[in-house]
Amino acid sequence: MTMTSSGTPHFVIVDSGNYFSTQTIQETKKRDDCFVIDMYDLPERDLSPYACMVIDNFVDQELLYQEREQIWQFLNQGKVLIFSGHMFLPWLPGASMFVPKLIRSQHDYEVSIVQQHPIFDGVDPEEMTYTKGVSGFFARGHHPLPSQAEVLLSLPGGEPITYIDRYSTQGTILVHSGNNLFAYSGQGSTVGRIGSQLQNWTREEYRAIQERTRTL
Amino acid sequence: MRKIAVLYGGNSHQFRTLYEPKYHRYLHQIIYLPELPFTSLDDIDVLLIPSQLHQRLVSESQHIIDSFTDRGGVVAAFGAQPNNWIPGHNWEFRPTNFWWWLDSNVRSGLVTERLDHDFFCYLTLKDATWHYHGVFYPPSGAEILIGLEGGGAILYVDKVTTAGTLIMTTLDPEFHYGSYFMPATERFLDKFLPWLAEGEL
């Protein structure tokens, strides 16, 4: 189940090339279901073999803005795109610019699961909010929603941290206003479930898009 | 006021920090990293290299950084230095302790013996006190402005390794401010940039 129907890796991981991403990228390169590309190779790369593009919070958004047509075309081929970070340029269909949360106490960072969803199945919101008793690592603001988006997580004022948008393009967009959701792993906390559950959900989502497209 | 140029990798945290008006006023030029090879630094006094840049692109412009220090330019760099873009720092990785301030003795481990330096007319040690991602072991002759108990440097000025001046800190305030993560780092930037622009280096 690690390949697309054409036999190529399911995920294309956009490498932002910075120091903090190095470890995640090296781990990802060991996996046969992921293909890593340097972000500056995006303009030259045929993305059609891949089911899902994963973009982290260190990406060059000036570049993505220049390449927004390619991103739009990728999604309109019925693909999935996962972006984690703070948007400041309009490169992603339907997405609005990041709005930071006004913080008065550490409780303002508390994460709530808005509706049960396979990506966050068995994940304790308390463990998303607090790391060794300190909050603020997970998300510190939100992106205003596109029309008909499905909200998965929110902050105490109802600000959506994580949403799924199936309406702005022919594909599915997941936007998360925090660190790279794809990279959460490990046994120490229920938060470590997120990465693999996100990957499983993405495979199902891609299959559902393909089936929906076939029946049209 | 010195003319400061800063490298900009197009990421959200650098965008927020560099275009914040109170910091932007100190920046003569914001150089988008992919355009660095085509940009003249001839009228620039200080090249500020923030953390979390695309490493291959910076490496490809190594000769530009070298030429800049060769002609006496000032390079200031933030954050971890796993590469040797700037000579002599001897970076050593340390696991990040985000929780140092929760420990019972509430000591960060940061120390200074150079309160006489002009740097401390602008900043206090407290303004530079948060977690760090590693330490430097600079060459003898470099001035360690902020060190660690037990050895190593968090911030130093090196006028011996190159013909220019290297101001190196393992702190990455522009990342944290730009990520809305640890507002305390704002105090550092509020005072560091005026020192870099006008202070005695």
What's the CATH code of the domain at A54? 3.40.50
Across the range A75-82, mean pLDDT stands at 97
pLDDT by position in tens, chain B (length 201): 999 999 999 999 999 999 999 999 999 999 999 999 999 999 999 999 999 999 999 999 999 999 999 999 999 999 999 999 999 999 998 877 765 666 656 667 889 989 999 999 999 999 998 888 889 999 999 999 999 998 999 999 999 999 999 999 999 999 999 999 877 799 999 999 999 999 999
With an 8 Å Cβ cutoff, is A192 touching chain B? no
Q: Specify the number of domains making up chain A.
A: 1
Domain containing residue B80: CATH number: 3.40.50.880
* Residues of A whose CB is below 8 A from B31: none
With an 8 Å Cβ cutoff, is A16 touching chain B? yes
User: Does B15 contact A18 at a Cβ distance shorter than 8 Å?
Assistant: no
Q: Can you read off the two tokens belonging to residue A170?
A: 């022919």
Question: Is residue A193 included in any domain, yes or no?
Answer: yes
For A58, the closest chain B residue by CA position comes to B11
C-alpha B83/C-alpha A67 separation (Å) is: 29
Across the range A164-186, mean pLDDT stands at 96
Task: For residue B113, give the amino acid letter.
Answer: E
CA of A59 vs chain B CAs: smallest distance (Å): 5
Domain that holds residue A187: 11-215
* Residues of B whose CB is below 8 A from A106: none
Mean pLDDT of chain A: 94
3-state SS, A128-167, equals: HHEECCEECCCECEECCCCCCCEEEEECCCCCEEEEEECC
* Residues of B whose CB is below 8 A from A39: 54
Q: What percent of chain A has pLDDT over 90?
A: 85
Domain that holds residue B80: 4-198
With an 8 Å Cβ cutoff, is B56 touching chain A? yes
Torsional sign, CA B17, B8, B27, B138: positive
A2 in Cβ contact with A35 (< 8 Å): no
Contacts 24+ apart (CB under 8 A), A196-201: A197/A118, A197/A119, A197/A120, A197/A121, A197/A123, A198/A82, A198/A119, A198/A174, A199/A11, A199/A33, A200/A118, A201/A117, A201/A118, A201/A119
- DSSP H helices, chain A, are 22-29, 61-66, 68-76, 125-129, 194-215
Please tell me which of the candidates B16, B33, B52 has its beta carbon nearest to residue A19: B52
For B182, the closest chain A residue by CA position comes to A136
User: Which pLDDT band holds residue A188 (cuts at 50, 70, 90)?
Assistant: confident
With an 8 Å Cβ cutoff, is B199 touching chain A? no
Please compute, for residue A15, the number of CA atoms within 13 A of its CA located in the half-sphere on the CB side.
Answer: 22
User: Does B57 contact A87 at a Cβ distance shorter than 8 Å?
Assistant: no
Q: Specify the number of domains making up chain B.
A: 1
A164 in Cβ contact with A93 (< 8 Å): no
Q: Is the pLDDT of residue A77 over 80?
A: yes
Question: Is residue A1 included in any domain, yes or no?
Answer: no
Q: Is the pLDDT of residue A1 over 60?
A: no
CA of B63 vs chain A CAs: smallest distance (Å): 20
Tens-place pLDDT, residues A79-118: 999 999 999 999 999 999 999 998 888 899 999 999 999 9
With an 8 Å Cβ cutoff, is B148 touching chain A? no
Question: Is residue A4 included in any domain, yes or no?
Answer: no
* Residues of A whose CB is below 8 A from B32: 62
